[in-house]
Amino acid sequence: MSCHEQLHNPESYVYDFQNCDFDGIAQALLLHPLNFSTPHGTADDAWMHFIQPVYDVIDKFVPVKAKRPINKKVSSKKYPKHIIRAVRKKAALWRRYSRSKTSSNKAAYCEQVEVRKSLVFEYERTKELNVIQKSNLGALYRFVNKRLAAKSGVGPLR
């Protein structure tokens, strides 16, 4: 598979430049007579005429490897284990309440909602206090700017 073909099919293979023959590439490019003749046709044709020897050298001296698929998980906030446990317990209590709608199940669920809410509030409060206690102005600005940034593409409402 040539370098030009790989540009049009990038999801399956990539060049392995960590295991390539750099000395061979350097020698091949030094010995190649670069043709700087008057270009004919479009700018794209002139570029392909100029870059084709580089593609040929890459194809000759750089091995190709299969590209590993990357599993992109949507990352949510990273909480400590005790908060994650509280979230799971809340979910389990909700499933139990949705199966049998008794007042005791609802009370247990509502109590767990409050526990989880207080744990998250305390965790966030502790993080903010740690930023303040650092007495690092850069860390404070970074913390505030992360809060003001809108990752969804919609600006923050003020």
What is the tens place of the pLDDT at every residue in 81-138? 999 999 999 999 999 999 998 999 999 999 999 999 999 999 999 998 988 888 888 8
Q: Work out the average pLDDT over 142-153.
A: 76
CB contact at 8 A, 89 and 119: no
C-beta separation of 28 from 57 below 8 A: yes
Using pLDDT thresholds of 50, 70 and 90, give the confidence band for residue 40. confident
pTM: 0.46
Q: How far apart are CA 120 and CA 79, in angstroms?
A: 8
Contacts of 113 (CB under 8 A, 6+ apart): 90
> Of 95, 37, 74, 85, whose CA–CA distance to 151 is shortest?
74
The pLDDT, as a whole number, for residue 7 is 47
